């Protein structure tokens, strides 16, 4: 904490001395890396739990279903959102050529976001999961985080508007700040919906949030190159093409999690087409940056921030490729619901944006001081190595799992449920260990970053980067386009599908309406303990799902109070688990899945720490899933 205090102090001093604009950037850039290291450590524990199911058993707050949202949200909000804010406060004044406007708002913003996020994840760990993947923070935490995002967006926008026609890096920072607000607000209303509708809104919200984060990262990449290589010239049009194709395409990829799912068929075609457009966007951005750096690769290798920038942009190119494979149906039917989804989540949390924010953090820590020493640089560069191992392990696990499912059904040997699920679980141990090793290596880099993070020092003279022929579009126009495209995507992938699905209950939905009070309470336990991180409750009309019972319809979820569809099958689908549930010894199975009468191969955490009443209720809920 001393480093933070002194950083704040130094930042304030610099502001007082030179009236500079870096004061607001100091605290977030110094604090966010620490939250990153903590979140990553949590993710490491989660990964260990996949291979050693009994690891840290018996503690409610450290069970998989609570630790995962805790760690993921800490990385998402505490590191990515706060770090992106710091990057924006650091670069936007330089881009605009004017001190940061609304400095008070800029100072409060990271406090609100980090504070709200920390309190929120603590609440999730204590059993306050609000549902919705990556949107689990309770409503009161949202009520703290969103004003923080709004304050940052206001300050960034006011500063950029002062420049009137900022370069493309300014577009990214400005648009990103509003995407964060729009995504968070959309995410906060998820609990107002239920079932499939909640799922549609929730995925859209998360997609817009990740768009905001990615845009911050890309803005930082442009700004870093502009600042560290002042003579590098960006193409006058490529930057704009990249920006607008990103704006148009990204939000439309949200329905990718519904392939063959209980949504209209056309909604499943949408993410295929738009993830292809995203390939154009990312290729253009990568090309623009690599043309600007052409002939300077020696300097890129020598400069740690530039190395991380190039790695970040290269990793960014993986995102649309990953999405395309998942979306194209022939491939999607194999990898959907598998660890392939976890690879995309790893890319979101630990991939391009993290690498680019690392670049900003290092740049800020080096500015006005001596550059980092070789030893520290080498340790930090372990991070991308570990990330590579994690990604490869998730892709391998996804393919392994998917092909086992298809193979099991096609050989008529077993359905992918009950004992049949074992075949897709046990072979994953090796790649799951690779993931653990990768995360451990990444953690070294994250700890080095957190230890070396400092508020930007020195006089921080403002260079005249804004003089470099900005595009002729006014910032207000850019912002209007961004909001318009958000609205169009919201209509296309949320409003219209919800209207089309309607709320006509299916016959199956009745089962979840008149639940006995025990089963109803059990559903609360199911949500609270995060069972839905590992179990889906949707059966698709696809090969992998043969033998899992009736195919899910939109109307099946009408009476569900929250989104319980799920996106990954670390455990088997539970949509019709009641038939299989009869084979198991009820709540004693939940308390100790590998115990007597259970399944020795199961990777499910033991829930012995739950009260008997909770176990009975959960058991009653599962028995109701006919």
| Binding residues for other proteins (CB under 8 A) | 231-238, 241, 260, 265-266, 268-270, 272-274, 276-277, 279-280, 283-284, 287, 290-292, 294-299, 301, 329-330, 332-334, 406, 409-410, 412, 508, 539-546, 549-551, 553
CB of 111 to other proteins, least distance (A): 41
509-532 residues labelled b (16+ CB within 10 A) or e (exposed): bebbeebeebbbbbbbbbbbbbbb
CB of 291 to other proteins, least distance (A): 5
Q: Are 479 and 172 a contacting pair, CB within 8 Å?
A: no
Q: Are 388 and 481 a contacting pair, CB within 8 Å?
A: no
Query: In three state form, how does the secondary structure of 318-348 look?
Result: HHHHHHHHHHCHHHHHHHCCCHHHHHHHHHH
CB of 125 to other proteins, least distance (A): 39
Token couple for 8: 């704040």
- Residues listed for the chain: 626
Nearer to other proteins, 284 or 348 (CB): 284
Q: What angle do CA 359, 183, 319 make, to 5 degrees?
A: 50
CB of 331 to other proteins, least distance (A): 9
Nearer to other proteins, 238 or 431 (CB): 238
The Cα 64–Cα 47 span in angstroms is: 9
Nearer to other proteins, 437 or 578 (CB): 578
Nearer to other proteins, 165 or 235 (CB): 235
The Cα 369–Cα 365 span in angstroms is: 7
CB of 168 to other proteins, least distance (A): 14
Nearer to other proteins, 265 or 464 (CB): 265
Nearer to other proteins, 219 or 261 (CB): 261
CB of 497 to other proteins, least distance (A): 14
Nearer to other proteins, 149 or 306 (CB): 306
| DSSP for residue 463 | P
CB of 53 to other proteins, least distance (A): 30
Nearer to other proteins, 178 or 274 (CB): 274
Q: Which residue has the tokens 């259970």?
A: 598
CB of 485 to other proteins, least distance (A): 16
Burial class (CB in 10 A: 0-12, 13-18, 19+), 504: exposed
Nearer to other proteins, 212 or 320 (CB): 320
End-to-end CA distance of the chain: 53
CB of 245 to other proteins, least distance (A): 9
Q: How far is residue 286 from each of residues 86, 186, 253, measured CA to CA in Å?
A: 23, 30, 20
Q: For residue 5, what are the contacts with CB-CB under 8 A and spacing of at least 6?
A: none
Helix (H, G, I), strand (E, B) or coil at 457: coil
Residue 296, CB-side half-sphere exposure with 13 Å CA sphere: 20
The Cα 332–Cα 402 span in angstroms is: 9
């Amino acid at each position: 904490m001393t480093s933070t205090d002194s950083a704040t102090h130094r930042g304030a001093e610099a502001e007082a001395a030179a009236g500079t604009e870096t004061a607001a950037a100091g605290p977030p850039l110094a604090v966010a890396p620490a939250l990153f290291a903590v979140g990553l450590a949590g993710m490491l524990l989660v990964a260990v739990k996949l291979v050693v199911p009994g690891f840290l058993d018996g503690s409610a707050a450290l069970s998989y279903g609570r630790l995962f949202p805790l760690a993921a949200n800490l990385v998402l909000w505490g590191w990515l959102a706060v770090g992106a804010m710091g990057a924006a406060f650091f670069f936007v004044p330089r881009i605009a050529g004017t001190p940061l406007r609304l400095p008070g708002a800029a100072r409060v913003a990271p406090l609100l976001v980090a504070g709200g996020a920390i309190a929120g994840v603590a609440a999730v760990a204590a059993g306050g999961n609000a549902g919705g993947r990556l949107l689990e923070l309770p409503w009161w935490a949202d009520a703290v985080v969103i004003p923080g995002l709004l304050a940052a967006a206001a300050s960034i926008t006011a500063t950029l508007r002062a420049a009137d026609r900022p370069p493309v890096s300014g577009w990214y920072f400005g648009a990103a700040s509003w995407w964060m607000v729009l995504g968070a607000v959309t995410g906060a209303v998820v609990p107002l919906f239920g079932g499939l509708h909640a799922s549609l809104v929730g995925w859209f919200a998360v997609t817009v949030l990740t768009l905001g984060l990615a845009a911050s990262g890309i803005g930082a990449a442009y700004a870093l190159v502009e600042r560290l290589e002042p003579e590098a010239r960006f193409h006058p049009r490529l930057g704009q093409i990249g920006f607008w194709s990103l704006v148009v395409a990204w939000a439309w990829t949200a329905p990718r999690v519904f392939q063959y799912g209980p949504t209209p068929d056309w909604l499943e075609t949408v993410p295929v087409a738009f993830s292809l457009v995203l390939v154009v966007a990312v290729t253009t951005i990568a090309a623009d940056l690599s043309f600007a750096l052409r002939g300077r690769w020696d300097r890129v290798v020598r400069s740690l921030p530039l190395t991380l920038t190039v790695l970040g942009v290269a990793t960014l190119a993986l995102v649309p490729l990953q999405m395309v494979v998942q979306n194209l149906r022939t491939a999607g039917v194999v990898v959907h619901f598998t660890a392939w989804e976890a690879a995309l989540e790893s890319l979101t949390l630990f991939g391009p944006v993290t690498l680019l924010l690392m670049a900003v953090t290092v740049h800020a820590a080096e500015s006005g001081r001596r550059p980092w020493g070789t030893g520290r640089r080498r340790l930090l560069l372990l991070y991308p190595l570990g990330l590579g191992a994690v990604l490869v392990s998730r892709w391998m696990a996804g393919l392994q799992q998917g092909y086992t499912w298809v193979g099991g059904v096609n050989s008529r040997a077993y359905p992918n449920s009950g004992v049949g699920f074992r075949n897709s679980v046990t072979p994953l141990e090796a790649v799951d260990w690779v993931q653990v090793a990768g995360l451990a290596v990444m953690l070294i880099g994250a700890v080095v970053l957190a230890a070396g993070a400092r508020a930007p020092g020195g006089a921080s003279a403002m260079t005249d980067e804004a003089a470099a022929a900005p595009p002729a579009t006014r910032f207000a126009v850019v912002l209007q386009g961004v909001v318009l495209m958000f609205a169009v995507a919201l209509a296309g992938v949320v409003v219209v599908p919800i209207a089309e699905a309607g709320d006509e209950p299916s016959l199956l939905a009745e089962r979840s309406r008149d639940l006995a009070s025990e089963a109803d309470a059990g559903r609360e336990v199911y949500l609270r303990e995060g069972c839905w991180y590992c179990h889906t409750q949707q059966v698709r009309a696809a090969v992998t799902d043969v033998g899992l019972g009736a195919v899910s319809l939109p109307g099946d979820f009408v009476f569900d109070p929250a989104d319980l569809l799920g996106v990954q099958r670390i455990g088997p689908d539970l949509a019709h688990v009641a038939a299989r549930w009869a084979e198991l010894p009820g709540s004693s199975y939940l308390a100790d899945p590998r115990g007597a009468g259970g399944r020795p191969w199961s990777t499910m955490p033991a829930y012995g720490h739950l009260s008997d009443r909770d176990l009975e209720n959960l058991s009653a809920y599962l028995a109701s899933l006919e």
